[in-house]
Every structure is written in C-alpha cells, then in structure tokens.
Amino acid sequence: MAVDHLILTTCFASLFASLLLYLLRRRSKEIVSRNNEPLTVKPGNNDVDIIIVGAGVAGAALAHTLGKEGRRVHVIERDLTEPDRIVGELLQPGGYLKLIELGLEDCVKEIDAQRVLGYALFKDGKHTKLSYPLDQFDSDVAGRSFHNGRFVQRMREKASTLPNVKMEQGTVTSLVEENGVIKGVQYKTKEGQELKSYAPLTIVCDGCFSNLRRSLCKPKVEVPSNFVGLVLENCELPFPNHGHVVLGDPSPILFYPISSSEVRCLVDVPGSKLPSLASGDMAKHLKTTVAPQVPIEIREAFLSAVEKGNIRTMPNRSMPADPIPTPGALLLGDAFNMRHPLTGGGMTVALSDIVILRDLLNPLVDLTDKESLSKYIESFYTLRKPVASTINTLAGALYKVFLASPDDARSEMRRACFDYLSLGGVCSSGPVALLSGLNPRPMSLVLHFFAVAIFGVGRLLVPLPSVKRLWLGARLISSASGIIFPIIKAEGVRQMFFPRTIPAIYRAPPAHSSPQ
C-alpha cells in the first residue's frame, strides 16, 4: 500500500514538474520589446505571424520593418526580378524622412540615386524655382530620384537578410476566409504548385493592379490620364537637382533625373485614349505637339529619345481609400489608395502608413487575439487619413489646376497658381512643404488653395473692377470649389479634418496585452 502511494505521488510530482517547466518555457517566449527593441512573439498555431502579398516599395519596406520587430513574415511576390517601371521614381523629402525612421535610408545608396532639392515650374516662356523648405533638417535630407527597380531590389535584399523573413516567388490567387475572418492565402508557386499559407494577419499590398482588393475595400478607380515615358540621356536640366514641370497644352510635362546620366520625361495625355505607338502617331504627337513646349536646353535630347523609339505608357489611376474592415487582413500601398502621380506622393504615403502600422502593432504580443487586432486595424485606417488625404487631395487638385482649359475661369486659376508660387516666401514654401510631405496638414492645403483663388480674383479687380471681371472672379471661386471639394468629400471630411472624433482610434495597448 505504501509502495503504491509512493509511486502515485512520484507520478503526480513528475507530471507537475513537467507542466511547470512547459509553462516557464512558454512564458520566456512572451517578451515584449520596449524602445523599439526586437520582440519575441508567441508561436501560436500558424507557421508565420504575418503574410505580405507583394514585394514592391510598400511590401518590401513593410517586410523589413515587421521582421526587424521580431515578427515572422512570409512575403509572396509574383515576380522577384528587378521591376522596370516609369513611375515610383521620385521620393519626396517627407518620404525620405520616413525611410530614415524605418532604418531603410541606405537603400537609396549605391543605386546612383539623385538628390532632389525642389521644382522648377515653366509656363508660357516664364519659369520659377521652388525649393524645398529644408533649413531645419540635416544636410542629408532631400528628395531622391532613382530607377524604381533598383530601389525595390535594395529593399528586398535588405528584408531577405533577416532570418525571420521568408521571401517567395508565387502568385496569390485568393484569400482564405473562414467565418468572416481572413486566415491566410492560397497561392501558386513558381513551379506551379498550389499551396496555402496561414497567419493571424494578412497584409495585401500587391499594387495598382491588385486582384484581391475587392473583398477588403470598395474600389472606385478612375483613370484621368496616361503617362508617356521616355529616358533622355546625357543631358543637363536647366536647374540641376530639381524636378521640372512644364505647364503645357493640354497637360503637364515632367522631367527629373533618375541617374547621373539619365533624365525621366513623363508626358501627361488626358483621357483614356492614346495615340497609337505602332502606327507612329505617338511619335508624331511627341515631335509636333510636345517638343515645341519642352525647354530649349533639353529639346534636342527629347527629340533624340523619341527617335530611339523606347516609348512606354502607364495609366494614371486614382482611387480614394474606402476600406471594408475585415478581421485578419488589411490593405496597404497602391492596392488600397492611389492618387495622380503628378506630385510624386505615392511612396511617401506608403512609407508613412508603414510607420503608423508598425507603431500600432508593436504592443500586440499575440496577433491571434482577433478582437484586439481588429481594433488596431480599424485604428490604422483612421490614423493614416490626415497625411494620406492631404497628399491625395493636393495631387488631384493640382493636376486639375495645371490642365489647360478653354474655360476662362479655369485658365485664370492656372495663371494665378503659377504667379502665386512665383511670389516666393510663404506663398511658395507653404505649398511646397505640402507637396514634399514635410507639412501634410489638411487645413494648410485648403488655406493655400483658396489663397490662390483669392489672389486670382484680386488681380482681376485691379486696377478697376468691371461687371465682366467680377463675374469671372465669381466663376474662378466656383471653379476652385468645384475642383477641391469633391476630392475632399471622396477622402472623407471627418476622417481628414477631425480624426480624433472617430471612436475607432486606439491610442494605447489593450490592458491584457501590456508588458507585465
């Protein structure tokens, strides 16, 4: 009897010791980082913590950022070879500051990236130089322009150096959903094998052609114009280290350096229909309509690029962010939100979004806590609004103002904008701070936009007002309102100007997720 009792006691003691050892080991893994130190997360039942669909600028930067935080990340990208695009080549200073914040500033090194210090604006034979307001920043802070593919590959390489980031080439065909919760993705590998990957959080950033966005947002995609892209070789821009914007007829023409020997030219063609490349109509259009409007210093290089025939096109899409909050998934980058690329704000928005998302997710040890994770996802969609909406609204409004128009009021608004920016002082530094992402404040945008309109009206009334000029001034104000208010409405007035009134915002970690 005593022996049986001893054996039973020994068994219970052994079982208790094993359970205690298991709990101690499990607890040791639940260490939350402080001061941005890497954290160790709960392993859970999934192979990874986060799936990222797409490894462009947004996906690659996000993979490195979350991997550095200690998350186990699985990136699935359709094509891991170097991209060859004609957009995503100019990073504004505000975006470069975000790149520094994410520890990715070295990704613009060793790719022959060029410093960009501002813009030069050309109209009707006149020009004005607009410099970024960089006085309060370190000397390294400026815009950067480069080959998009080189930049993306540098970020992919940096993300791949982290042991907890797996980058795989494959095509995601669908999201895996169970009871309204996204559990992961189904994808086809490079070899054609159909597989599934599971994670508590799936982040879709597969670009402007996303085939997954429909279940996560209400896409309202517009294509106001197309870009026709050329590369000018071995030519010097009139203003070195500046982007050049020609207010042409019918729409803007852009020039900016993408290497020490190459200048990107983007000719905007309004509408969805383009002259035919195959028939030679496009080359004829560029030679006869566009070339005479190009600054004389680079006109010969422009014509030489047209003769070489390496002409490419890209539709300019715009799509306001209108998410459908879905447990287990969120959208990021061009898959979620697009604006006209005239102002080069896309990468700044994406990198700003990544900083917000990183800081939101940092306190969450266990991403399988669906309730907390869903609240943070909703918070992300709200907290991003002021910055993103300012850049989006500016891009849409500026494009419409810069378009040539037979309407007198629109033409007067265009002239007023050029002359207002030419005044210098706060009239140029304020709008350029908005454009550069250094001061993305919605109210500042609205004030400057209507300051341009009022400036235009004031010029009409000097020296002597007339009924005709008063009527034109009224139409100018009406035209300005008709440009900016529909864009603001699409972005969301409350989210853009009064985000603190949105109850979804989470500003502190849930009590049960706080470090002990």
> 122 φ, ψ to 5°?
-120, 135
300, 315, 330 - which closes a domain: 315
Question: Does residue 155 share a domain with residue 61?
Answer: yes
Sign of CA dihedral 88, 94, 98, 101: positive
Mean pLDDT by 10 residues, the chain (516 residues): 40 41 38 37 62 98 97 97 95 97 97 98 96 94 98 98 97 95 96 95 95 93 96 96 97 98 97 93 97 97 96 96 93 96 96 96 88 88 92 96 96 97 96 95 95 95 90 96 94 86 56 41
* Same domain, residue pair 189 and 247: no
Domain assignment present for residue 510? The answer is no
Structural domain of 55: 48-110+145-219+318-367
The answer to the question of residue 133 being in a domain is no
In total, the chain counts a number of residues equal to 516
Cα(331)–Cα(421) distance, integer angstroms: 36
430 and 484 in a single domain? The answer is yes
Residues 409 and 342 reside in one and the same domain: no
Q: Do 25 and 40 meet the contact criterion of CB atoms below 8 Å apart?
A: no
294 and 253 fall within a common domain: yes
- pLDDT for residue 7: 37
* Single-letter code of the amino acid located at 246: V
Do 415 and 351 share a structural domain? Answer: no
Beta strands in 163-311 (DSSP E): 165-178, 181-189, 194-198, 201-204, 222-233, 243-246, 253-257, 262-270
The domain spanning residue 304 has which CATH number?
A: 3.30.70
Q: 212 with 270, same domain? A: no
The structure's pTM equals 0.88
Query: Does residue 380 belong to any structural domain of this protein?
Result: no
Whether 65 and 173 share a structural domain:
yes
10 domain-assigned? no
Shared-domain flag, residues 476 and 417: yes
Q: What is the CATH number of the domain that holds 96?
A: 3.50.50.60
Transcribe 232-267 into DSSP letters.
EES---SSTTSEEEE--SSS-EEEEESSSSEEEEEE
> Tokens 């080959």 belong to which residue?
147
Sheet bearing 329-331, strands edge to edge: 194-198, 181-189, 165-178, 73-77, 50-53, 201-204, 329-331
In-domain check, residue 361: yes
Let me know whether 214 and 328 are in one domain.
yes
Number of folded domains that form the chain? 3
**In this predicted structure, what is the pLDDT of residue 464?**
85
- Residue at 63 is within a domain: yes
Residue 118 lies in a domain: no
Close Cβ partners of 422 (under 8 Å, ≥ 6 residues apart): 121, 126, 128, 428
Same domain, yes or no, for 168 and 250? no
How many whole angstroms separate alpha carbon 134 and alpha carbon 115? 13
Distances (CA, A) of 213 to 337, 339, 403, 481: 10, 16, 31, 31
Would you say residue 405 lies in a domain?
yes
Residues 180 and 291 in one domain: no
Task: Report the candidate in 235, 241, 263, 253 with the shortest Cα–Cα distance to residue 143.
Answer: 241
Question: Residue 395, by phi and psi: left (phi above 0), alpha (psi -120 to 50) or beta?
Answer: alpha
3-state secondary structure of 503: coil
Helix (H, G, I), strand (E, B) or coil at 76: strand
φ, ψ for residue 481 (rounded to 5)? -65, -40
Q: Angle, nearest 10°, between helix axes 408-422 and 426-435?
A: 100
